[in-house]
Amino acid sequence: MQTTTISDFRSNSKKYLDSEAENFDTLIIKRGKGSGLVIMSLEEYVSLEATRHELSSLKNEQRLDAAIEKLNQGNSFSKDLIEQ
């Protein structure tokens, strides 16, 4: 995670945006007392949204917890993909 000021970001926006896109990093731009912005790569954002969706209901969260528990106990199996 990187942190910068709005003034520095204005002067070096290409450098910061290129870094975020290449490194899947997060950039925090401070804008004064307690306010700011977060910039992240599209891939990171999509990943966060998918996680938020998966945890958006108690039922989904319970299913994920049960699947993780099965994996941790070694109760998993693999399947070959069917290619068409």
- Cα dist from 84 to 78, 81, whole Å: 19, 10
Residue 2: name the closest of 48, 43, 51, 41 by CA.
41
pLDDT along the chain (84 residues), means of 10: 91 92 88 88 90 89 90 87 84
Report how far residue 20's alpha carbon sits from residue 16's, in angstroms, rounded to the nearest whole number.
6
CA dist 1 and 19 (Å) reads 11
CATH of residue 26's domain is 3.40.1620.10
**Number of domains within the chain:** 2
Q: Is residue 7 part of a domain?
A: yes
pLDDT of residue 33: 82
**17 in any annotated domain:** yes
Is there a domain that residue 83 lies in?
no
Give the pLDDT score at 9: 94
